[in-house]
Structures are given as structure tokens and as C-alpha cells.
Amino acid sequence: MKFEHITLGQRVMFGSGQSAANLAAEVARLDASRVMVIASEFERSMAKTATAQISPALWWDEVIMHVPVEAAERARSAANENDVDLLVCVGGGSTTGLAKAIALTTGIPIVAVPTTYAGSEATNVWGVTEDRTKTTGVDDRVLPVTVVYDADFTRTLPVELSVSSGLNALAHCIDSLWAPGADPINRALALEGARALAIGLAGVVANPKDLAAREQTLHGAYLAAVSFASAGSGLHHKICHVLGGTFNLPHAQTHATVLPCVLAFNAPAVPETAARLAAALGRPAIEGQEAAPAAVEALNALRDTLDAPTALADYGFTAADIPEATQRVLKAVPASNPVTVTDGDITALLTAALNGTTPAPSTPSLT
């Protein structure tokens, strides 16, 4: 066994109903006096709750999915003009993404208060979109110095969005199993994150107000993000970045829809990992069953329980979009992917995701 693992330095404060006190303590610890609060209009009430014990200098609500460069520039200018010394983002992945875009060029630290299971708050990955192309990168300046988790905020998240956001987190886990920086440590984090997400999301669907289920899901989303921050973007995320940036598909729903197709494609090449994933999802392989089908069946059983999104066609993607998407994805495929990727593979995978079908695992062409 030989590997190099990096754990990102970040403070995590987890406590339901404790966001205002925890955020105030962090603002004081960081000696910040000019706080910019980033929250969409929809997220404003939660942001007011979280910031009840501080006095923000600036509120910013222009939050746009996939962080267009022009919107990022306006927010950066506002931060500079108001001498902001701390960014507090309260919301989902788009809100955190905007804070990261500001921090990338200004160096202003971030305290993140997540209200979904997006996981962006625990990574040093940034992304902006320009000319129908989403560009991502890694920079420690965008890693929030502190994450304030309060599961109370997720109790008002509609079940449908909870499911897609939670499956987005599960995609972080699964991609971390074979991404460029995959190692035994982040695989362990990813598999435990998958276990927690499967249990938590089932509980959320059964009772959306169940705080324990919400906490379990939020805990799993954090583990997913930490593993992803170390492992990096695998094939799944490269595909979804193309679909989001080029075709403006909704982030969480796209991840939730594409995930079983990528798992079916890659799992046959890593049977031991696939077996561990099936067990983590609560449906270990039965005697005589191969690991890859077991993992795919476990994921699809969870998706059935959750009534998960099934088809990219439901979000505006069309068959006419597949050729362009395929060529863009092929340029971004990580060399670490356990299966050799061809034009035909991506075309078939996107066709399955478009129509809402999961291809059966097949004999892989190993890299």
C-alpha cells in the first residue's frame, strides 16, 4: 500500500438550532467587522436567523446557478467597494459557489452555513461559467475557513429537492472511489458517507420533519464532500459539469439522474470497491451475485425508495444535444478512470440518462 493523502484544514461546527451562536462566535474569533452576507432572496429568512447575533455590513442576493462570470464580477466589486473582510454564505451550492468566486480573486475568508446537502462548503473546488463552458479549479483560498451546520435549516427543504441534493452528495461519494486522487482514506470516508446518506435520505422521505434523519443526511453530505475534496473530480462530475455549464441543466437533479449510468459503466472494473459500495447502501451482494450488478441494484433500490429523478429529458436535455455533450466530455475524462472511455461509451451513457434507463454493467475495457 502506497499513497499520499491531504486533509484540508477547516473548522466544523455542527449543532441544530445553534447557527446564530456558532456564527457569532466565528465572526468574533476571526475578528471580522465588515461582513458580507450572501443569500438568495429565497434563502433570506434562513440567513436572517443565522446572522441574528451579528451586524452585517452588506447583504447580497444575486445568486445564479452555475455562477456566471458576470455575476461573480459584480459581487467581487461590491465586496471590494464595501471593504468586506469576511464572507458569510447561507444557502445551497450556488450560494457557496458565488462566495468562492469572490474569495478566489480577493482572498476574503468564507464562513459557510449550508442549507442543502450540496457539499461545496467542505471543498477547495471553485467553478464559474462563461460562454456555455463551466470552468473549475482547485485553490485553497476558496475553502471556507469554517462550516456552520444547522440541520434545522434543511427541515424546510422540500422532499424532492432533498432527494436530488442528497443524491448529489452521494455522487461525491461514488466519484471519490475512482477519481484521480482516490486513496484508502477518502474511500473509507466516501463509503461511510454513502451509508449515512442512504439511511438519512430514506428517513427524510418517510418523515420530512425528522430532525435525526436530517442530521444523518447532513453528516453524510459532509463526509461525501471531504472525500471528494481529497479525491477530485471523476468521470461523473466531468459529465455533469458539461451538462450544467453548456446546457444549463439543474445541478442536483443532473447529478441524481446521471449517477446510476456512470456507476453501471465503471463498477465492473472495480469489483471489490463495488461490493463495499453495495454493502454501504444497505444491499450487499447475495451469494453468487457479482459485485457490479449488486452495487447498481443497491443504488437503484435506494433511488426507487426516494422516488429520485430519472431522466435528463425532464430538464430540457435532448437527443440533439448528445453529440456536443459527448465531445466536450471526452476532452475532460480523467486518466484515472478505471474503464477506457470511447465516443460510443459516452453517447450510450448520455442516451441512457436522457431516457431514464440504467444500462446493465458489462465487461469493461480496463485502462
> Environment class of residue 140 by beta-carbon count within 10 Å: exposed (0-12), middle (13-18) or buried (19+)?
exposed
Specify whether the CB–CB gap between 265 and 238 falls below 8 A. Answer: no
Closest to 282 in 3D by CA, of 254, 306, 249? 306
Give backbone dihedrals phi and psi of 294, rounded to 5 degrees, phi first.
-65, -45
The region that residue 90 occupies, defined by phi over 0 for left and psi between -120 and 50 for alpha, beta otherwise, is beta
- For residue 89, what are the contacts with CB-CB under 8 A and spacing of at least 6? 37, 38, 39, 95, 96, 98, 99, 110, 111, 112, 113, 121, 144
Specify whether the CB–CB gap between 118 and 91 falls below 8 A. Answer: no
Is residue 4, in this structure, part of any structural domain at all? no
Alpha-carbon gap, residue 223 to 8, rounded angstroms: 12
- Res 348 pLDDT > 80: yes
Q: Inter-axis angle of helices 235-247 and 343-355, to 10 degrees?
A: 70
pTM, full prediction: 0.92
Looking at the fold, whether 44 and 117 belong to one and the same domain comes out as: yes
The region that residue 283 occupies, defined by phi over 0 for left and psi between -120 and 50 for alpha, beta otherwise, is beta
| pLDDT band for position 365 (cuts 50, 70, 90) | low
Cell of residue 28, nine digits: 468574533
Looking at the fold, whether 190 and 119 belong to one and the same domain comes out as: no
Is residue 171, in this structure, part of any structural domain at all? yes
Give the whole-number percent of the chain exceeding pLDDT 70: 98
Looking at the fold, whether 102 and 220 belong to one and the same domain comes out as: no
The more confidently predicted of residues 133 and 295 is 295
What integer pLDDT is reported at residue 362 of this predicted model?
64
| pLDDT band for position 363 (cuts 50, 70, 90) | low
* DSSP, res 366: B
Domain that residue 26 falls in = 11-155
CATH number where 142 lies: 3.40.50.1970
Q: For the chain, what is the mean pLDDT?
A: 95
Looking at the fold, whether 239 and 96 belong to one and the same domain comes out as: no
> What is the average per-residue pLDDT within 127-152?
95
Looking at the fold, whether 42 and 19 belong to one and the same domain comes out as: yes
Is residue 363, in this structure, part of any structural domain at all? no
Specify whether the CB–CB gap between 182 and 176 falls below 8 A. Answer: yes
- Among candidate residues 124, 155, 186, the one where a domain is terminated: 155
- Res 67 pLDDT > 80: yes
Is residue 195, in this structure, part of any structural domain at all? yes
Specify whether the CB–CB gap between 228 and 175 falls below 8 A. Answer: yes
DSSP result, 290-346:
-HHHHHHHHHHHHHHHHT----GGGGT--GGGHHHHHHHHHTT--TT-SB---HHHH
Q: Say how many domains are in the chain.
A: 2
Looking at the fold, whether 210 and 75 belong to one and the same domain comes out as: no
- Res 64 pLDDT > 70: yes
> What is the average per-residue pLDDT within 170-195?
96
Give backbone dihedrals phi and psi of 193, rounded to 5 degrees, phi first.
-60, -40
Looking at the fold, whether 252 and 103 belong to one and the same domain comes out as: no
Specify whether the CB–CB gap between 51 and 81 falls below 8 A. Answer: no
Looking at the fold, whether 226 and 287 belong to one and the same domain comes out as: yes
Looking at the fold, whether 214 and 288 belong to one and the same domain comes out as: yes
- Among candidate residues 111, 139, 155, the one where a domain is terminated: 155
Looking at the fold, whether 91 and 225 belong to one and the same domain comes out as: no
Rounded to a whole number of angstroms, the CA Rg of the chain reads 20
Looking at the fold, whether 256 and 320 belong to one and the same domain comes out as: yes
